[in-house]
Structure formats: C-alpha cells, structure tokens
Amino acid sequence: MGLVKPYKGRFYLAIFIAILMAIFAPLTPYLIQITVDNYIMAGNWNMLLTMTMILAGMLLFQAGLTYNFTYNTNWLGQSIIRDLRTQVYRHVLSLNLRYFDRTPIGTSVTRTINDVEAINDIFAEGVITILSDLLTLIAVLFMMFYSSWRVTLVTLTVLPILLFAAYVFKEGIRKSFTEVRNQVARLNAFLQEHITGMAVVQVFNAEEREMLKFKSINADHRNANIRGIWYYSIFFPVVEIISAMALGLLVWYGANQVIHERASIGIIISFIMYINLMFRPIRTLADKFNTLQMGMVASDRVFKLLDNKDQMANAGTKNADEVNGDLEFKNVFFAYDEKNYVLKNVSFNVNAGETLAIVGATGAGKSSIINILNRFYEIQQGVICLDGINIRDYELSSLRSKIGLVLQDVFLFSGSIMDNITLRNPAITREQVHHAAELCGIAEWIERLPDQYDHNVMERGATLSIGQRQLISFVRALVYNPKILILDEATSSIDTESEQLIQQAIEKLIQGRTSIIIAHRLSTIQHADKILVLDLGEVKEIGTHEELLELNGFYKNLYELQFRKKEIAV
C-alpha cells in the first residue's frame, strides 16, 4: 500500500466509485418492485413510462461508473507496477555479484517481470474490486431485509453451503497458484540458461537430453495449471447449483406468500434480481481473493528481493577523481563463501604508473584480486589502499570510474558498436571513441563495416569474432580514461596479428597509468615492473622477470615449462 502514495487521488477516487456502485446496484430491483406493484398492477401507464426512463438513466449511470472504476483501478495497477519494476531493477543493479553467483538469471527475470505483473492484479482485480463486491453484497442484503425479512431468511438458508464451497476453493487454488509461480520461475531459469548456452548444447550433441529435461519441467508447469483449472471447473458449477437452490426456495416460499397476500409479485421479481446480484460477487469473490493471494505471493517474492541487503557497502565519501594510482594490498584474506579462502594473507604494492603482472596456475586467485579491487566482493580481512586510503572510504561509483577492466570473456549488448563502447554515456564523444579505436589499431576495421560505428553487433556480439569482441572491450575500457588499467587474460582469445596490435596499444596506454596484467603467456609480461606469482591463493614470489628467474622457484618452473612446450611444438 506504500506504493499507492504517489497516486492517492486515483486510489480514493476508485474507492468513492466503488461505494457509489454498491449504493446504486440494489436500487434497480427495488425500483422494478415499485413499478410492478404500484404502476403495472394499477394500470398507471404514464408512471410506467416515467419509471422506465428513470431505470434507463440509472443503467447508463451505472455503466459510466463501471467504466470509470475499471479504468482507474487498472491505471492505478499499471502505474504502480511501472514504479515497482523500476525500483526492483535499480535494486538488482546494486546487488553484489555474490547474489548473481547464487541466483539463476531466469529467477531474477521472473521476479522483475512475471511477479511484478501479478502485483498489478492486486489493484486491478484485488483489493478495491473486493471492497466493491463486499459493499455491493452488504447493500443488496440490506435491501432484501428491508423488502421482506421472511423471504430473505428463506433465500439465505443456502448461504452456509456456498461459503463452505468458497473456502475450500480458495484454499485449494491458493496452493495451486503458489506452485504455478514456482514452476514459472523454473521454466524461465531453464530457458534463460540453455538459450544462452545453446552453442555448448549443440557442440556436445546434448539436444535430446536437454529436450527431455525441458519436457519434464514443462509438464510440471502444465500439471500445476491443470490443478488450478480443476478447482475452477468444480467450484463454478457448484455455485450455479446453489444459486438454483436459492431461486427454487424463493419461488416455493414466495408463491405461498403471494397466495396468502403476505408478499407482492413485485417483491418476488425483485428478489430474483437480488439473488443474481448477491451470487455474482460471491461467485467471483473467491476467485478475486485468490487473485489477491497470488499477488501477495508474488509481492512476497519481490519484497524479499528488495529486502536482500547483499549490497556492497557504499559509506565512502571521498572522490577518486584526483587519485595517482598507488595500490597496496595489506594481509588480505578473501573467500567467496565466507569459509574457503581463495586469497590468503596477500600483500603487495604497485606504485603509480607501474605495471604489475600476476601469474599462476588456474585457481591460484588471480581474477579474485581483480574482483576485490573493483569491490565486486568484500574482503574478510586485511586492507586494500589506493593512494594510501582504504578503498572503502571512496564513493563506490567514483572508485570504479577510475578502474578500466578488460575481461577474457567479453560481454556485448544488443546494439551498435558505439553503444557498446560508450555504454550510452552521453559524456563520451564520438571523437573520443575514434581516438581510442585508433590507439587499439581497430579504427580501420570498424570503418570497413557497413554502418561503421553504428554497426549492430546483435545479442552478445553474435555478428563478431571473439577477437573482434575483445578489441571492442579494449576500446570500451580505454575510452573512460581510467587511472588503473586491468587486463584479465585480455589477449588470450586474439590471433597473433591482433595481439601485436594490442601489445603496441598497451605500451602507449600504460604510460601514466597503474596497470595490472593477468596472463598465462609469460612472453607478454616480461617487461612488467613487477611480477606477482600466486599459488593456491598465496603470494609465492614477487619481483622483475630477471629477479624471479634467478630465484629458481615457481616463476622459473612456469617459464621453463611454457618455453619447453614451444620447443616441442617447433
């Protein structure tokens, strides 16, 4: 209900219309009762014409109320879910990468799209509509008792059976809806994951196995929906039978009352209409309560996501615009799961403008150093300093704006090359992009494309080679003019010719910048100012290429192993 605050006027207007609808709903049967008893039976045709015109006017007025009520409640629902979806996406953007490590992408998509859409039903078909139906029910019962309390009591003898049936339906459909939401999340997660990884599925000829798994999930989704359909198929015929029973009791008892002149024909006719007015909201109330419950289940999931505080603390106030780039790790311990440390007591420093290369076997912790430097994850112990100041004291976006990162696995969004380089940052000009592309040696290649910088790379860069995507990611990092440049296996997917272009660009780009290079090929890092050797999360050696060779340790073993492989290949 807190989401309604910006739209209080619409909300109160919808409630006011709901009250008017409840007041006018039972007036039509009452006016018909008066018309039959006072004017038709008396043969007063002039008043009959007048009453007919009044009833026609009321019909038009009620139609206008229904239109306004439907439009306002749906407008309110759509406006609220627009705000909520924006709020959810903004929150998802602020979450730690740890959340995305543990949560399937499809689940987050379901929370942002399907579950938020279900919350719309709370306003469009839930709270206010239920209020309108309840008010209508109360108004109808009041008019029924006012017209004839004896006939009303006889008619209402079937009400306990109806209420029991509605309760059973409500409980059954609630469980069904909860299961349907779970199955939708499973379906979305499976499709998101497998469509993204379709190349792997096809390369390993796993189409049939994955199809069988999809059929199983899809069947579970169908079965959950069918269980809900079964409750509907039972409940509505039961309501029709109970309604017919009430009508039968009315005809039996009402005819007896008319014969003994204890009730008029107009009362019996009006009661037939009252029964329809009474059973219509009761028939839909159970369904609407379940719509409300389904929205509540969805909102519970959405609010749990919003309540997830797995965000990087951003209590820092310092601006990183004027940093020089001095980096220092002091006794840093880090674990992704809070238990198994992937970095243990790591300490090193890099002076501004220097280049640090990090080498080690797979799983040594090289990429983890990059993750914690960018504050994608929080360290458990130790301190990381930039220009002698703890990186936690810097404002998060300001800190990250000074770190340029080129990853081994490049992600490109649907859109143009220009959009993928600038990430739609209006502060970056086309000239800056051209200059960065020239430094990386790819300006000529881009200008040969049909639309040049406006060429559409499609989803995940499908129209480009791996090497071309890597080169674009280089330009993306450089165009932001970072103070610290990080290359995480950045040349691993590039052919020899492209690598030479990149190496030439790197030599120009690292001038005046603190650079951290992670590479398996030791030939690319021999000129680094420092080389850090990691093994199982621990610093084993640090020094220049020559100094490490003289130590006859880990680095020399890696170096000789790589060059021995080259000799064997030759």
Residues 6 or more apart whose Cβ sits within 8 Å of residue 184? 110, 114, 221
Q: Residue range 153-165: average pLDDT?
A: 83
Q: Which one, of 37, 50, 112, lies nearest residue 82 by Cα?
A: 112
Q: Which one, of 569, 274, 516, lies nearest residue 405 by Cα?
A: 516
- Looking only at the bridges linking them, the beta strands covering 484-488 and 403-406 are parallel
Tens digit of each residue's pLDDT (9 = 90 or more) over 201-247: 776 677 788 888 888 888 888 888 888 788 778 887 888 888 888 88
Q: Residue range 86-106: average pLDDT?
A: 74
CATH topology of domain 327-569: Rossmann fold (3.40.50)
Distance CA 149, CA 168 (A): 29
Residue 136 has pLDDT above 60, yes or no: yes
DSSP structural state of residue 455: -
Residue 312 has pLDDT above 80, yes or no: no
| Strand extents, DSSP E, 448-498 | 484-488
Residue 499 has pLDDT above 70, yes or no: no
The pLDDT value given to residue 9: 86
What is 216-247 written as a DSSP string? Answer: HHHHHHHHHHHHHHHHHHHHHHHHHHHHHHHH
| Confidence category of residue 36, pLDDT binned at 50, 70, 90 | confident
SS3 263: coil
Residue 568 has pLDDT above 60, yes or no: no
| Confidence category of residue 143, pLDDT binned at 50, 70, 90 | confident
pTM of model > 0.85: no
Q: At CB < 8 A and 24+ separation, what contacts does 420-427 make?
A: 420/457, 420/461, 420/472, 420/476, 421/453, 421/472, 421/475, 421/476, 421/479, 422/476, 422/479, 423/476, 425/480
The two domains 7-307 and 327-569 share their CATH topology (first three levels equal): no
| Sheet hosting strand 355-360, strand order edge to edge | 403-406, 484-488, 514-518, 355-360, 530-535, 538-543
- CA 418 from chain centre, in angstroms, equals 27
Domain ranges of the chain: 7-307, 327-569
CATH topology of domain 7-307: ABC transporter transmembrane region fold (1.20.1560)
Half-sphere CA count of 16, side-chain side, radius 13 A: 8
Phi-psi region of 415 (alpha: psi -120 to 50; beta: other; left: phi over 0): left
Q: Residue range 296-311: average pLDDT?
A: 77
- For 19, 259, 545, the CA distances from 75, given in Å and listed in that order, are 19, 52, 67
Residue holding tokens 């690292």? 510
The pLDDT value given to residue 524: 67
Question: Residue ranges of the alpha helices (H) in 328-412?
Answer: 366-373, 396-400
DSSP structural state of residue 111: I
Mean of the per-residue pLDDT values of the chain: 79
The pLDDT value given to residue 126: 65
Distance CA 6, CA 72 (A): 14
DSSP lists the bridge partners of residue 269 as: none
The pLDDT value given to residue 570: 47
Q: Is the dihedral of CA 10, 13, 18, 19 positive or negative?
A: positive
Integer Rg of the chain from CA:
36
Q: Residue range 368-382: average pLDDT?
A: 83
Residue holding tokens 């069988």? 212
Tens digit of each residue's pLDDT (9 = 90 or more) over 544-564: 888 878 887 777 777 777 665
Tens digit of each residue's pLDDT (9 = 90 or more) over 424-439: 777 788 888 787 777 7
Task: Give Dmax (Cα) for the chain.
Answer: 121
Residue 248 has pLDDT above 80, yes or no: yes
Tens digit of each residue's pLDDT (9 = 90 or more) over 380-401: 888 888 888 888 888 888 888 8
DSSP structural state of residue 357: E
The pLDDT > 70 percentage for the chain reads 87
Tens digit of each residue's pLDDT (9 = 90 or more) over 349-365: 888 888 888 887 777 77
| Confidence category of residue 462, pLDDT binned at 50, 70, 90 | low
Residue 388 backbone phi and psi in degrees, to 5: 80, 5
The pLDDT > 90 percentage for the chain reads 1
